[in-house]
Amino acid sequence: MALLSLALARHVARGLQPLRRLCASGWLREADVDLFLRLLHPALRLNRVFARVEARRWVADDMLAIELRCNGNARDWRAGQHVQLYLEQDGVRHGRSYSLTRVTDDGRIELAIKRQPGGRLSNLLLDRLAVGEVIELGQAFGDFAWPQEQGAVLLLAAGSGITPLLGLLREALARGFAAPVTLLHQVRRQGQQAFAEELQALAARHANLQVRWAFSGETGGRLTAAQLAALPGEHLLLCGPRGFVEQACGWWRDAGRGGSLQAESFSPLPVLAEADTDEVRLRFARSGQQVSGNGNASLLEQAEASGLRPAHGCRQGICTSCTCLLLAGTVRDLRSGELFAEPNQPIRLCVSAPHGDVEIDL
């Protein structure tokens, strides 16, 4: 049972700076302090972000929006950024990135989770995450932002790519953005138009907003270069699977439309041909651990499997928060297959796999 309310725990979190300094200088262990803090409230921690589920609502047949209240350690988060959400199942910790569709000053955030066929974590979250539960989040990352320049804005989303765009759109309209905005959301079929009611209500309230949907599962429903050319807008923000984003960016540039372009894609990393599956030795220098590993999984996954908790965000090589020094050995970039062997060069753990024995400054 919590001794403090979450509101009070958030207040306490603001006053923990002296303890943070003692931990940073090695006088206290953060894990020990956290053990005590969690007795006061299950979400209270020194630095890590924990949040309580406040509400859940279905916003499409296959998408659930969850509202969470954070513990006071989520600082400077913005709608349109992404956070890693962690859940433990059968003693194994899983993490996935989701976009922030709303961030409020009192520590409330909203995330939207799309059901992935066969997706272990998404199904677990959609079916079992209950109001009142406390879960851990990573720090927010991502640079998606509403265009600073004047002019009409075109938002293109496919699938769950609607989530960061919705966060930015809500804030821009609330701030009084008055130039024309067109949002096109491409989904596979009827019923997948996430937040459709809210978007229609926004369009009814804001004469400068137009919302359209396209159904890629229907003949002629997929966005084409000609359709993109006919959509108004000087500044383009788009988000969706890698193929959708790359194609639309190409059409936009080929058409010489100028203005600004921001794009984010969330497809999993391309799977390269499997590397040598022989056992390799991984040495994590700062934690003094030496473990066996393999040449296929990322160093981030292998470090986590060894009980370490390296800082990370996107797990896709984008945010740089998992950057560490390679002290010795060779690593392979899981996206390109390129090898890196220079000692003391920074590498991103989430997209680097060992290519033989390696030593990492972790």
Strand partners, 359: 283, 328
Residue list 267-326, contact with ligand FES (CB under 6 A): 312-315, 317-322
**Smallest distance, Å, CB 130 to ligand FES?**
28
Candidates 54, 84, 50, 78; CA nearest to 68 is 54
Q: Quick one: which of 283, 348, 353, 362 contacts ligand FES (CB under 6 A)?
A: 348
Helix axes 30-40, 17-24, angle to 10 degrees: 160
CB nearer ligand FES, residue 235 or residue 315: 315
DSSP secondary structure letter of residue 33: H
Amino acid at 310: P
CB nearer ligand FES, residue 186 or residue 321: 321
CB nearer ligand FES, residue 191 or residue 270: 270
Rounded Cα gap, residues 112 and 110, in angstroms = 7
96 is an interface residue for ligand FES by CB under 6 A: no
Rounded Cα gap, residues 210 and 208, in angstroms = 7
**Smallest distance, Å, CB 333 to ligand FES?**
12
**Smallest distance, Å, CB 360 to ligand FES?**
13
CB nearer ligand FES, residue 98 or residue 252: 98
Residue list 214-253, contact with ligand FES (CB under 6 A): none
**Smallest distance, Å, CB 350 to ligand FES?**
3
Candidates 319, 316, 311; CA nearest to 361 is 311
Per-residue CA distances from 137 to 25, 29, 58, 82, 133 (Å): 25, 21, 21, 10, 13
**Smallest distance, Å, CB 84 to ligand FES?**
8
- What lies within 8 Å, CB to CB, of 351 at 6+ separation is 269, 298, 316, 317, 333, 334, 335
CB nearer ligand FES, residue 52 or residue 355: 355
CB nearer ligand FES, residue 72 or residue 317: 317
| Residues at the site binding ligand FES, with contacts judged by CB under 6 A | 312-315, 317-322, 348, 350
